[in-house]
Amino acid sequence: MASDQKTRRPDAVTMDVVELIGDVVARYHEDFDVAAADHALTGAQARLLSLLSLQPLPMRKLAQKLKCEPSNVTGIVDRLESRGLVERRPDPNDRRVKLAVTTDEGRRVARGLRESLRFAREPLAGLSGDERVTLRDLLRRMLESGQ
C-alpha cells in the first residue's frame, strides 16, 4: 500500500497547495531582493548577512546553506567585511577554521532587512493571530516531515 501511495498522482488540492507555496516563495524572494537593494546589498549578500545574524558560521557551512561554491562565499564575505557588517574570527573549537560573524552594524542591517519585508507585513497582516499561529505550526510540520 505504501508503494501505491508513492506512485499515485497528487490530488487537486495538493497540487494547488504546491503551486501556492511556489507563489509564496517567489514573492518572498522578490521582496527580499527589493529589501536588499534598499540596504545597498545584493540578494546573496543579504541572505548571507541574514544567516550570520542568527549565528556565526564557518565559510564552508555558509557555502552549503547558500548552495554555492566556497570561493563565492569568500567574495561575498570580503564585500560585507569591507562595509563593516561582517568580520572573520578563528573558531574557538578549531583555530584552523575561520568563522564569519556579524558586527553590531551587521546585526542592525539584518534586522532592518527583516523589518522592511513587505511580504511579512501585508499578506500576513490579513490573517488573525490564531491563523498565523496555525500557518506557522503547519509549515513547521511540513518541514519536519520532509527531513
The CA distance from 64 to 70, in Å, is 8
The CA distance from 67 to 121, in Å, is 28
Rg (CA), the chain: 19
The CA distance from 45 to 106, in Å, is 11
Q: What is the 3-state secondary structure (H, E, C) of the chain?
A: CHHHHHHCCCCHHHHHHHHHHHHHHHHHHHHHHHHHHHCCCCHHHHHHHHHHHHCCEEHHHHHHHHCCCHHHHHHHHHHHHHCCCEEEEEECCEEEEEEEEECHHHHHHHHHHHHHCHHHHHHHHCCCHHHHHHHHHHHHHHHHHCC
Between 9 and 53, the higher pLDDT residue: 53
pLDDT of 4 above 60: no
pLDDT of 147: 64
pLDDT of 56 above 70: yes
Predicted TM-score (pTM) of the model is: 0.75
Domains detected in the chain: 12-116 (1.10.10.10)
Rounded to whole angstroms, the maximal C-alpha distance in the chain is 58
- pLDDT tens-digit series, residues 80-126: 999 999 999 999 989 888 999 999 999 999 999 988 887 767 778 88
- On average, the pLDDT of the chain sits at 89
